[in-house]
Amino acid sequence: MTETNRTAKLSLDGKDYELAVHKGSIGPEVIDVSKLYSSTGAFTLDPGFTSTASCESTITYIDGDAGMLLYRGYPIDELAEHGDFIETCYLLLYGNLPNAAQRKEFETAITYHTMIHEQMNRFFAGFRRDAHPMAVMVGVVGALSAFYHDSTDIADPAQREIAARRMIAKIPTIAAMAFKYHIGQPFVYPRNDLDFASNFLRMCFAVPCEDYKVNPVLARAMDRIFILHADHEQNASTSTVRLAGSSGANPFACVAAGIACLWGPAHGGANEAALEMLNEIGTVDRIPEFIDRAKDRNDPFRLMGFGHRVYKNYDPRAKIMQKTAHEVLDELGITDDPLLDVARELEKIALEDPYFIEKKLYPNIDFYSGITLRALGFPTSMFTVLFSVARTVGWIAQWKEMIEDPTQRIGRPRQLYTGPTERGYVPVTERKDD
Ligand code: CMC
């Protein structure tokens, strides 16, 4: 962060205050209000944090108007086209793309930590078979802190490092187990000779009674989905991880909190909701009815997979996701997917509709990811789980950055209180009926 020589002026009760203005490497300047309360006695109010930078970060940059997403400076489309998820993880965690030796060391470390403590397998049996796999994820990932005590001391950099690598390696295994438990199949142990995405697909789709050969096109698509979802700046789940971590909670617990937040339909749950919506629309001729509903202020229905808090342009991830969807469908020989027809037509109509144009509502990543994941063989209930597998590295990179920041303090927002003012306790016998 660099100081500018500019200040913002605030006038309150006839008194003038000067607020420092800081500049990042790119993006909007920020007005520093950290001393506002001590100097003026007033708080700022920003529900939903639409105008608030909650922290300083060097990891991910989004320009929502331009439709730009950079991981450590690299455009997302270049990483998705030329890189892979393992080096994306390295990049997010350590700041630069790895050289060959660094990559080998990192990939080996991730590959050799994929197994989970055997005792953890018993955890699954405690869940109902029909439990949503995200419910299982919240519980089992949280339970990692009960199994890996030797990496929960956040003051020890070596333990932080081990915890980070353990989570990147083990959360895919837990996710695949949650899937297998959900569909009543035996767990499949990880295989160290496979790359990250291939191993994950195998853990999800192999069965003991026959060979499973990983299709490289599908593995590449899975890897790309992981890259696209790996980090997204201070979104709701990442802010949750940071806030949980700011109290000194261990990283496994913080990531479990992030998974809980990701579950919601306005965040990670949107890919599940988008596919359900496409199913509900069913045929192209019903699209106008749903567009009308989305525009009706009295109808809570929204076009799932459309709109974004930050992107007021086409989500750059959605473009890559659309291409990936086509690659997967072509590879699988799915030439006439009615949902893809509905999706294409819906996108076309919405992009030409004044309501969506005025409100800058463009397709987001979730619009096409559901179609791709379904073609890969995942049920909708697994979509958000896959998002959490990918976002784990982003959460950990952001958590590490926060812990390693010497100015870090517990996150403790204030409020505009509008409840009753002080009043005396009334015994139950003397309380009036409403
Ligand atoms: N369909 C119809 N109208 C919409 C939609 C939509 N998908 N999204 C926003 N609007 C309207 C909304 O009704 C409001 O209209 P008005 O100004 O007349 O009240 C206006 O656009 C602004 O909406 P908002 O809710 O104030 O915007 P937000 O920035 O708080 O919400 C959002 C962003 C993503 C929650 C919202 O666009 C949405 O609910 N989209 C559908 C869910 C979705 O696809 N979420 C995935 C986000 S990308 C993945 C991720 O980051 O997790």
Verify whether ligand 1 is closer than 6 Å to residue 107 (CB atom): no
Alpha carbon nearest to ligand 1 atom 25, residue: 309
Place of tokens 């959490």: 388
Amino acid (one-letter) located at 184: G
Our answer to whether residue 132 is catalytic in this structure is no
Do residues 180 and 188 touch, judged by C-beta distance below 8 A?
Answer: yes
How many angstroms is it from 294 CA to the middle of ligand 1? 10
Place of tokens 């919405």: 350
CA of 216 to the centre of ligand 1 (A): 36
Pocket test for ligand 1, best of 364, 385, 388, 395 (most atoms within 8 A of CB): 364
Handedness of CA 203, 209, 213, 217 (dihedral sign): negative
Mutate to test the pocket of ligand 1, among 232, 238, 309, 384 (most ligand atoms within 8 A of CB): 309
Count CA atoms closer than 13 A to 116's CA, side-chain side.
Answer: 27
One pLDDT digit (tens) per residue for the chain, 434 residues: 777 788 999 999 999 999 999 999 999 999 999 999 999 999 999 999 999 999 999 999 999 999 999 999 999 999 999 999 999 999 999 999 999 999 999 999 999 899 999 999 998 999 999 999 999 999 999 999 999 998 899 999 999 999 999 999 999 999 999 999 999 999 999 999 999 999 999 999 999 999 999 999 999 999 999 999 999 999 999 999 999 999 999 999 999 999 999 999 888 888 888 889 999 999 999 999 999 999 999 999 999 989 988 888 888 999 899 899 889 999 999 877 788 889 889 988 988 999 999 999 998 888 889 889 999 999 999 999 999 999 999 999 999 999 999 989 999 999 999 999 999 999 999 999 87
CA-proximal residue: ligand 1, atom 50 (nearest)? 267
- Region of residue 333 (phi > 0: left; psi between -120 and 50: alpha; otherwise: beta): left
Look at residue 315 in the predicted model and tell me its pLDDT.
87
Helix ranges (H only) for 46-156 are 76-82, 85-94, 100-111, 121-125, 133-147
Whether 190 lines ligand 1, by a CB cut-off of 6 Å, is no
Q: Beta partners for 62?
A: 69
- Cβ atoms within 10 Å of 52's Cβ, excluding its own: 13
The single residue listed with the structure tokens 């009334």 is: 426
- Per the structure block, which two tokens stand in for 188? 């499949």
Which residue's CA is the nearest one to ligand 1's atom 8? 307
Our answer to whether residue 308 is catalytic in this structure is yes
Backbone angles phi, psi at 75, to 5 degrees: -60, 140
306 close to ligand 1 (CB < 6 Angstrom):
yes
361 lines ligand 1 (CB under 6 A): yes
- Report in angstroms the alpha-carbon separations of 374 from 154, 195, 272, 274, 298: 39, 22, 10, 12, 32
Helix axes 216-228, 383-403, angle to 10 degrees: 50
Q: Name the residue with the closest Cα to ligand 1, atom 32.
A: 308
d(CA 146, CA 29): 42
Residue 31 tokens read as 């007005």
